[in-house]
Structure formats: C-alpha cells, structure tokens
Amino acid sequence: MAAEGGAAPQSSSNPPSADPAWAHCTVVDMGRRKVQCKYCNRVLSGGVWCLKQHLAGIKGEVAPCSRVSSEVRIKFCQYMKEKETSKANITRRRQEIREELSAPPQRSVDEIHLSRRRQTIDLDDDEEEQFRQASQASRRSFAEEDYLRRTGQHLG
C-alpha cells in the first residue's frame, strides 16, 4: 500500500549508503542487518561488514563465498586491508594526542610570564587549577584542530 502512495519501500535498489559492498548483495532485513550475497545466495547476519569478509574470503565470523570471482575477492581483500590500516592510523594518532594532553606542562603553572611587561603573577590554588584546566583544554583543542587540518578526518 505504501507503494501506491508514491513512496518506494526500502529495498536492495535503495542501499542505505554509498558503500561498494551494496552492489554485491540484496537487503533481506535491514532491522536485523541481514543481507544476501548475490553470488552464492547465502543470507548473512551482520550487515555489509560480514558481507565484505565473506567476499574477501576472510575466515572467522562468516564462511568465505565459494562463487565470487577472484577480481571481486581481491578488491574486497584490498578494501579490508586499507580500512584496517586507516583505523590503526586513527587509533595511533588518538593515543598520541592523549599522551600529549596528559604530559606535564613545559613550565611551572605557578608563574606566568607576560610577554609585554615581563611581570610574574602568583596564582592561588583555585586560580592555578582553573588555569591548568583551561591550558589543557586549549592544548587538546589545538591538537585536534591540527590533526583535522592535516588529515581532513574527524576524531569522532
């Protein structure tokens, strides 16, 4: 009945994203993340991630597809390796940022040297803690902006 009103129901012709794996399956049940391989007709639970493993021939969570061409298998093997490398790089950079943020400040927080007047300001404990927190937030923001500027990726 929904089709009569002009709205097309979600089907394999309307994949939920531009992921290249959608061209190699049909959606069986999107709510349960079930897809069907177009080569061997096997229904896979776990969505396109499991389909990619299936097509790449990666053993573990799903059985490898016995009918996929070697060209498609190689394509998805390379895709999976690139995703692993990309994910590892993001994880490594996040860890570097965490380490930078947790490192002690280069100079004492007790004294701030103002560049124009070269005055020293003594801070009480509350002010020192506020300054430390603001300083850490500023370093975090700078590190994240620098990372985004260099990679164009979001830290999510």
Q: Cβ atoms within 10 A of the Cβ of 93, count?
A: 16
Q: Is the pTM of this model over 0.85?
A: no
The DSSP output letter for 5 is T
Q: What is the pLDDT of residues 63-84, one digit of tens each?
A: 999 999 999 999 999 998 988 8
Bridge pairing between strands 25-29 and 34-37: antiparallel
pLDDT of residue 75: 94
Q: Describe the strand order of the beta sheet including 34-37 as a list of residue ranges.
A: 25-29, 34-37, 43-45
Structure tokens at 132: 């430390």
Q: What DSSP character marks residue 29?
A: E
Run of H or E residues at 113: strand 111-113
